[in-house]
Amino acid sequence: MESRSVTGRLSITVNGQIRDVSGGRAHTTALEWLREGGLSGSKEGCAEGECGACAIMVARPDGSDGTAWTAVNSCLLPVAALDGQEIVTAEGLATPGALHPVQVELAERGGSQCGYCTPGFACSMAAEFYRRGRGTSVPPTDAAGLDGTDANSEHGPNGFDLHALSGNLCRCTGYRPIRDAAYALGEPEAGDVLAARRDRPTAGPTATVVTAPDGTFIRPATLAEAVGLLAEHPEAVVVAGSTDWGVDVNLRGRRSPVVIAIDALSELRGLDVGPDVVHIGAAVTLSEAERALAGRVPLLAGLFPQFASRLIRNRATFGGNLGTASPIGDTPPALLALDARLVLASSEGRREVALEDYFTGYRETVLRPGELILAVQIPLPLAPLCVFHKISKRRFDDISSVAVAIAIDVQNGVVRRARVGIGGVAATPLRARETEQALTGQPWTGETAAAAARVLGTEGTPMDDHRATARYRSAMLEQAMLKFYSDDTQGREAVS
Ligand SMILES: Cc1cc2nc3c(=O)[nH]c(=O)nc-3n(C[C@H](O)[C@H](O)[C@H](O)COP(=O)(O)OP(=O)(O)OC[C@H]3O[C@@H](n4cnc5c(N)ncnc54)[C@H](O)[C@@H]3O)c2cc1C
Ligand code: FES
Ligand code: FES
């Protein structure tokens, strides 16, 4: 990352024009800054990442010397985090005298009524319009499948992945005309400036310091600098994708005297599939991992499409999901079933901890003051049979009532090893150890699955809350095991 020490001279390229961000505050969101500066196309519907009315496109490195237009929620992103970067808002899509193709299709197919959601839909749709390989490759959500059905195979004849719109809500038009608009899009035409921009690299975020009355926002250039700052300011909040922190700032009024952005630190950005381990840097986003792994970790491939929305996954990181230590976070059950370990770093050095030892209580972990998560490591080989079930009220962009991840190794018809991770049924995500014992050493039969399901239904200490009753949660645990067995048996019958 380029290092520069700046206070009060920050800039963002917005719709091709450099704009000064001087005077920005540590907690001002990109949405607030855009609207205050007269770019009121991006709307605030919820200020918590749920509606997509605030979507904009950010130029992000595409992993091969080019640029990928990536749609994100501007309501969650601190504007200081965009210093040195390029963004496009709904105002920047059209060219003088000509609407953008997504605007043409939305207009012609009746995809907009009151129009409040439309700028956000247009930006999410444009990012997918510019996705390289759209139409020629099978996107990861298709490769993964979900729950043994093809419910996730939601692609238009033009390769448009409807998941691109999973974070955008419309209250009045109805989604069919919007989908029709998306599926009618062709390829970018010659002379399309945003398409051409993809061929040049993008710099990525720059090291930044914003000192303002509401706090200091620092983007350090290196991990050493970051952990040094954390040692100096143990009260600092570490921010990666800001999809949780942004909600805290907007809805809970949280402020921190020091905010340290770690999302661009190269030491946290690696993703590598080695002979013995899959290494995922803590600041790798869910979308980046989904693309880079391309189904090579099937449990995660099953998880990705069910995690929030594309807009959130484009910013949400593994480190952030584990950093919140939420009992209903989706990656912990999957990573527990994968026997993952965490690499932690502080100014005193690095240490490793098994994920099963990481959570110590409700939103409490073994992380010491001044320590952060550097990476997640998944040992190889993976258990051949696995599944991730998320039970929630909505299929997309919803929080788990219960999550269950199961990974088993069956040899000669006998379960040799079993790992079961569960979420939403205790103060922390858990390994369902009694269920694992009920499976291990047993023949992989309907009787074993039924017995294990009964045990799984008794694991954890589920509670009644507005998402689900304790009884429902236990029942869902049981069902997850039965469905796992049934899907496996049907899958094998279909092959033979
Ligand atoms: C609309 C919406 C839908 C969501 N849906 C889901 C969902 O389906 N499933 C789900 O699990 N979550 C969901 N979330 C929650 C959130 O997106 C995830 O927890 C995400 O992974 C957080 O990552 P982040 O990088 O944005 O974290 P941030 O917001 O940047 O940080 C979150 C917390 O983690 C800490 N942190 C960040 N990185 C590190 C690190 N490397 N080391 C130590 N601490 C760190 C921060 O200090 C902060 O306390 C949703 C959120 C929203 C707004
Ligand atoms: S305003 Fe609703 S997602 Fe940002
Ligand atoms: S057109 Fe009114 S909310 Fe979508």
pLDDT of the residue at 204: 77
Q: What is the number of the ligand closest to the CA of 42?
A: 2
pLDDT of the residue at 206: 81
Q: CB under 8 Å to 265, separation ≥6 — which residues?
A: 1, 220, 222, 223, 226, 283
**CB-based burial of residue 390 (10 Å sphere; 0-12 exposed, 13-18 middle, 19+ buried)?**
buried
SS3 479: helix
Q: Are strands 215-219 and 86-88 parallel, antiparallel or unpaired?
A: unpaired
pLDDT of the residue at 495: 65
Measured from the CA of 43, which atom of ligand 2 is nearest? 1
Higher pLDDT, 346 or 203: 346
pLDDT of the residue at 33: 96
pLDDT of the residue at 63: 82
- For ligand 2, whether the C-beta of 247 sits within 6 Å is no
Q: What is the number of the ligand closest to the CA of 315?
A: 1
pLDDT of the residue at 170: 97
Cis amide leading into 381 (omega within 30)? yes
Work out the number of other CB atoms within 10 angstroms of the CB of residue 493: 8
pLDDT of the residue at 144: 38
pLDDT of the residue at 137: 56
Higher pLDDT, 29 or 139: 29
- For ligand 1, whether the C-beta of 167 sits within 6 Å is no
pLDDT of the residue at 2: 43
Compute the half-sphere exposure of residue 475: CA atoms within 13 Å on the CB side of its CA.
6
Measured from the CA of 171, which atom of ligand 3 is nearest? 3
Which residue from 32, 42, 46, 310 has its CB within 8 A of the most atoms of ligand 2, so it is best to mutate? 46
Amino acid symbol at 163: H
- For ligand 3, whether the C-beta of 172 sits within 6 Å is yes
- For ligand 2, whether the C-beta of 264 sits within 6 Å is no
- For ligand 1, whether the C-beta of 317 sits within 6 Å is yes
- For ligand 2, whether the C-beta of 35 sits within 6 Å is no
Asked if pLDDT for residue 5 goes beyond 50, the answer is no
Contact status, residue 353 vs residue 344, Cβ threshold 8 Å: yes
pLDDT, averaged across the chain = 92
Amino acid symbol at 290: E
Stretch among 352-361, 448-457, 462-471 having the lowest mean pLDDT: 462-471
Measured from the CA of 170, which atom of ligand 3 is nearest? 4
- For ligand 2, whether the C-beta of 75 sits within 6 Å is yes
How much distance in Å is there from the Cα of 175 to the middle of ligand 3? 10
**Residues 112-167: tens digit of each pLDDT:** 999 999 999 999 999 999 999 897 755 544 443 333 334 445 889 999 999 999 99
Rounded mean pLDDT of 412-435? 96
pLDDT of the residue at 22: 78
- Please give the DSSP secondary-structure letter assigned to residue 5: -
Instruction: Determine the Cα–Cα distance for residues 266 and 262; give it in Å rounded to an integer.
Output: 9
pLDDT of the residue at 464: 85
Measured from the CA of 121, which atom of ligand 3 is nearest? 4
Rounded mean pLDDT of 203-219? 89
pLDDT of the residue at 64: 86
Nearest CA to ligand 2 atom 3: 49
- Buried b / exposed e along 428-441 (16+ C-beta atoms within 10 A): bbbbbeebbebbbe
Instruction: Determine the Cα–Cα distance for residues 354 and 470; give it in Å rounded to an integer.
Output: 28
pTM reported for the whole predicted model: 0.94
Phi (first) and psi of residue 98, to 5 degrees: -145, 125
Rounded mean pLDDT of 29-57? 97
Radius of gyration of the chain (CA): 23
- For ligand 2, whether the C-beta of 50 sits within 6 Å is yes
SS3 349: strand
- For ligand 2, whether the C-beta of 120 sits within 6 Å is no
- For ligand 3, whether the C-beta of 115 sits within 6 Å is yes
Which residue from 75, 171, 243, 313 has its CB within 8 A of the most atoms of ligand 2, so it is best to mutate? 75
Instruction: Determine the Cα–Cα distance for residues 25 and 8; give it in Å rounded to an integer.
Output: 10
DSSP string, 88-114: E-GGGTSBTTB--HHHHHHHHTT--SS
pLDDT of the residue at 365: 98
Cα separations in angstroms, 471 against 304, 428, 436, 462:
27, 18, 21, 8
Nearest CA to ligand 3 atom 4: 170
Measured from the CA of 114, which atom of ligand 3 is nearest? 2
How much distance in Å is there from the Cα of 48 to the middle of ligand 3? 18
- For ligand 2, whether the C-beta of 32 sits within 6 Å is no
Tokens 């279909």, located at residue: 494
- For ligand 1, whether the C-beta of 396 sits within 6 Å is no
**Residues 299-343: tens digit of each pLDDT:** 999 999 999 999 999 999 999 999 999 999 999 999 999 999 999
Which residue from 50, 227, 312 has its CB within 8 A of the most atoms of ligand 1, so it is best to mutate? 312
**Among candidate residues 354, 378, 362, 344, the one with its CA nearest the CA of residue 423:** 362
pLDDT of the residue at 147: 35
Contact status, residue 39 vs residue 14, Cβ threshold 8 Å: yes
pLDDT of the residue at 142: 46
Instruction: Determine the Cα–Cα distance for residues 175 and 414; give it in Å rounded to an integer.
Output: 47
For residue 279, give the H/E element and its range.
Answer: strand 277-281
- For ligand 1, whether the C-beta of 372 sits within 6 Å is yes
Measured from the CA of 398, which atom of ligand 1 is nearest? 8
Q: What is the number of the ligand closest to the CA of 168?
A: 2
pLDDT of the residue at 217: 95
Long-range contact pairs involving 40-43 (C-beta distance under 8 Å, separation at least 24): 41/89, 41/90, 41/91, 41/119, 42/74, 42/89, 42/90, 42/119, 42/120, 42/123, 43/116, 43/117, 43/119, 43/120
**Residues 65-122: tens digit of each pLDDT:** 999 999 999 999 999 999 999 999 999 999 988 999 999 999 999 999 999 999 999 9
* Percentage of the chain exceeding pLDDT 70: 94
Residue 3 token pair:
């290092």
Angle between helix 470-495 and 446-456 (nearest 10) = 160
- For ligand 2, whether the C-beta of 51 sits within 6 Å is yes
- For ligand 3, whether the C-beta of 312 sits within 6 Å is no
How much distance in Å is there from the Cα of 45 to the middle of ligand 2? 5
Stretch among 3-7, 14-18, 198-202, 471-475 having the lowest mean pLDDT: 3-7
**Residues 243-287: tens digit of each pLDDT:** 999 999 999 999 999 999 999 999 999 999 999 999 999 999 999
Nearest CA to ligand 1 atom 23: 320
Cα separations in angstroms, 286 against 36, 59, 220, 289, 295:
31, 17, 22, 5, 13
Angle between helix 101-108 and 175-183 (nearest 10) = 140
